[in-house]
Amino acid sequence: MATALPSGAPDLRRLGYFVAVAEAGGFTAAATRLHLSQQALSSAIRQLEKEIGADLLARSGRRVSLTDAGRTLFDEGRILLAAADTVARHTRAAAAPPPDTFLIGHSPAISSADVYTLLAPTIASFPDTSFTVMQLFPDRLIDGVHDGSLQLGLRRGVAAQERLATATAGYDRMRVALRSEHPLAGRALIDVADLADTPIALWAPPGSSFYSDFLVNACRRAGFEPRYRVSRVQGCPPEAAALTENAAAFVTGPAGSALDGAVTVVDLAGPLLVPVQALWQPHTRSAVRDRILHQPVTGGTPPPPR
């Protein structure tokens, strides 16, 4: 059975022209960028407005501004163009002999070891696929997923993300990293409440990161307001924050000695599980991504719903 084209769907070429005009703030700069005459560009935009059935631009001399309809098309049209580019690249990759490459970005809050644990079953299931994993700060991670240069983004937390598809990929068990000479480092188990007199290392201020909010709230549930320090060293193993900030650092690495014995990682008496959120372009399909997201969680049992 043939699939009918959606009624009133915009022409992708004209949509790209419209996005270029909106980004440039006028026809002159956009025409130069697109190597078109202003007349041809203006004609294409008028045809797009006719297709959509709405005015998209308010023209004032050489400057243009977006109407309400134009702002909607600009925001959502960029997603459509990025998805179309992804479809084209996937199609070309399917026709080419070299193996497919799956690109994954992860925030510094997730260690490369945690990422590999999550990916290992999928890597075994797709022997002809190459996997590239890179650490990116959150803003670059989101940009990479938006523009399609990353097939999957991974970060701590379950924060809402506009114009991206998301899912919880799993949960990791948290432990605490301390300087090895810290009084609590010699214990087999500690409670979060035991950290009330110890500064807590964060990687971003509370309110700007779900992960920071998660850690602060864990301390509050334990009965104290944490004295936090935002780590001045980013991109290194999270255990290093115990040294650089002289603080307790929540980590997902194994219990025991770390960083040549300078740090000791101690298990928590009560399990503290932090989620891993996966992000990807909406309206796209990937068997590799489905395998990653549909496997059992590896880091622990999800907390009960509240």
> What pTM value is reported for the model?
0.64
User: What is the per-residue DSSP string for the chain?
Assistant: -PPPPPTTPPPHHHHHHHHHHHHHTSHHHHHHHHT--HHHHHHHHHHHHHHHTS--EEEETTEEEE-HHHHHHHHHHHHHHHHHHHHHHHHHHHHSSSPPEEEEEE-TTS-HHHHHHHHHHHHHH-TT-EEEEEE--HHHHHHHHHHTS-SEEEEES----TTSEEEEEEEEE-EEEEETTSGGGG-SEE-GGGGTTS-EEESS-TTS-HHHHHHHHHHHHTT----EEE-S--SS-GGGHHHHSSSBEEE-SPSEEETTTTEEEEEESS--EEEEEEEE-TT---HHHHHHHTSPPSB-PPPPP-
What CATH number is given to the structural domain containing 128?
3.40.190.10
Q: Are residues 251 and 140 in the same domain?
A: no
Within this chain, do residues 266 and 181 fall inside the same structural domain, yes or no? Answer: yes
Among candidate residues 78, 93, 108, the one where a domain is terminated: 93
**Selected residue with higher pLDDT from 66 and 157:** 66
**Digit-coded pLDDT (tens) for 124-156:** 999 989 999 999 888 889 899 998 899 999 998
Q: Tell me the pLDDT band of 304, cut-offs 50, 70 and 90.
A: very low
Establish if 3 belongs to a structural domain.
no
pLDDT tens digits for 157-191? 776 667 889 999 988 899 999 999 999 999 999 99
Q: What is the overall mean pLDDT for the chain? A: 87
Distance CA 65, CA 42 (A): 14
Tokens describing residue 51: 């297709």
Do 282 and 253 fall within a single domain? no
Confidence of residue 299 (pLDDT cuts 50, 70, 90): very low
* Whether 133 and 267 share a structural domain: no
Together in a domain, 18 and 33:
yes
Residues 89 and 129 in one domain: no
Among the candidates 41, 63, 93, a domain finishes at 93
How does pLDDT run across 226-273, given as a tens digit for each residue?
Answer: 999 998 887 788 899 999 999 999 999 899 999 999 999 999 998 899
Within 10 angstroms of residue 45's Cβ, the number of other Cβ atoms is 22
Cα–Cα dist 208/206, whole Å: 6
Q: Which amino acid does the sequence have at 57?
A: L
Q: Is the pLDDT of residue 51 over 60?
A: yes
Host domain of residue 142: 99-171+274-294
pLDDT computed for residue 8 by the predictor: 65
Residues 280 and 262 in one domain: no
Same domain, 289 and 148: yes
In sign, the C-alpha dihedral spanning 216, 218, 220, 223 is negative
**Residues 236 and 166 occupy one common structural domain:** no
Q: Which residue has the higher pLDDT, 17 or 137?
A: 17
HSE at residue 62, side-chain half, CA atoms within 13 A, is 6
Q: Which residues, 6+ apart, have CB-to-CB distance to 194 below 8 Å?
A: 184
Per-residue pLDDT band at 291 (split at 50, 70, 90): very high
d(CA 121, CA 127): 11
Would you state the pLDDT for residue 277? 92
Q: How far apart are CA 86 and CA 102, in angstroms?
A: 12
Q: What is the count of structural domains for the chain?
A: 3
179 and 239, same domain (yes or no): yes
Residue type, 50: K
SS3 track for 220-259:
HHCCCCCCEEECCCCCCCHHHHHHHCCCEEEECCCCEEEC
Looking at the domain assignment, is residue 2 inside a domain?
no
Same domain, 142 and 185: no
